[in-house]
Structure 1
Amino acid sequence: MLTVEESVVVNKPRIEVWEFMTDPDNVPVYCSNIVEYELVSGGKLEVGRICRGVAKVAGRRLELTDEMVEVERGRGGKLVSEDATIPYTLSLHYEDEGDGTKVTWHQEMESLKGFFKFADPIVLKMYARDVRSNLEKVKTILEA
């Protein structure tokens, strides 16, 4: 199992951070590796909602469709993409930390399937750096 886990503390209330990050319209705003992402079915913040998009990782375009399978208002959510180029599960958790919110991004993938010319550990390290940068961007946007 390949795992990427990164966290950041955003100096804003938990519900505000949760609402921003779970809104599909905002995903391309804070995720530099997402070049397309749109809601295709369901409500924006509801279990069962489906989004389709394209991510760019290590110079490769990866098509994805994900479904929100769990959501707890202001606390977290879980997305599953079984038909993506590289299937994954993404959990986002939000918890109070001081006057702010600690956001934890936890993503798991079975394998990169030899899709990249680099070894899995190298691609995973590059992707973890993207995730960290994206979380820092959320912090910058919301704290402005």
Structure 2
Amino acid sequence: MHEVKETIFINRLPEEVHLFLMDTDNALLWQSNLVEYELLSEDYRKGSMFRGVNKVAGRKIKWEAEVAEHELGAHALMRSTEAPMPFELEYVFAAIDDGTEMTYHMTVKEFGGFFGKLADPLVVRLYQKDVRSNLEKLKDLLEA
């Protein structure tokens, strides 16, 4: 199993940060490695389906996922339903003073040879760097 976990402090309330993330129009604004993103359900809630395309290590990865858990301002868990590499993505929001400590936690069960076994650790490091940069951009957008 491979995992990427990053935490950032954002000077906004947890509900504000979470609502920003739920808005599909914002997804491409802060995620440089996200090429396409579409909510397939009417709104974002437990059971909602969405799909997208990410670019990782120069390769495009198409996926579909479902919101498995959702508690506004506290927690969201998405789980892939179709992807070359099964994944879970969790956001955790914790109120600290007048801001939010947000944790991004992605686990990928296996790459399945998509990048080649020897490249897996490099791909994880590259993705970790992308996530850190994306969270900094998210912070900048929300605090502007």
TM-score range relative to shorter protein: over 0.9
Contact 1:25 1:38 in 2 (8 A): no
Question: Does 2:39 correspond to 1:28?
Answer: no
Deviating beyond 4 angstroms after TM superposition, the runs of 4 or more aligned structure 1 residues are none
How does 1:111-126 map onto structure 2 within 5 Å? 111-117=110-116, 119-126=119-126
* Structure 2: distance between partners of 1:123 and 1:68: 25
Give the RMSD, CA atoms, in angstroms.
1.2
How does 1:1-144 map onto structure 2 within 5 Å? 1-44=1-44, 46-117=45-116, 119-144=119-144
> How far is the alpha carbon of 1:110 from its aligned partner?
1.0
* Structure 1: distance between partners of 2:81 and 2:67: 12
* Structure 2: distance between partners of 1:142 and 1:28: 14
* Structure 2: distance between partners of 1:50 and 1:79: 9
Contact 2:66 2:78 in 1 (8 A): yes
Between the two proteins, the alignment pairs up a number of residues equal to 143
Q: Counterpart amino acid of 1:91?
A: E
Secondary structure of 1:85's aligned partner? coil
Q: Counterpart amino acid of 1:20?
A: F
Secondary structure of 1:116's aligned partner? coil
Instruction: Provide structure 2 residue ranges, at least 5 long, that are not aligned to the other structure.
Output: none
> How far is the alpha carbon of 1:23 from its aligned partner?
2.2
* Structure 2: distance between partners of 1:82 and 1:122: 25
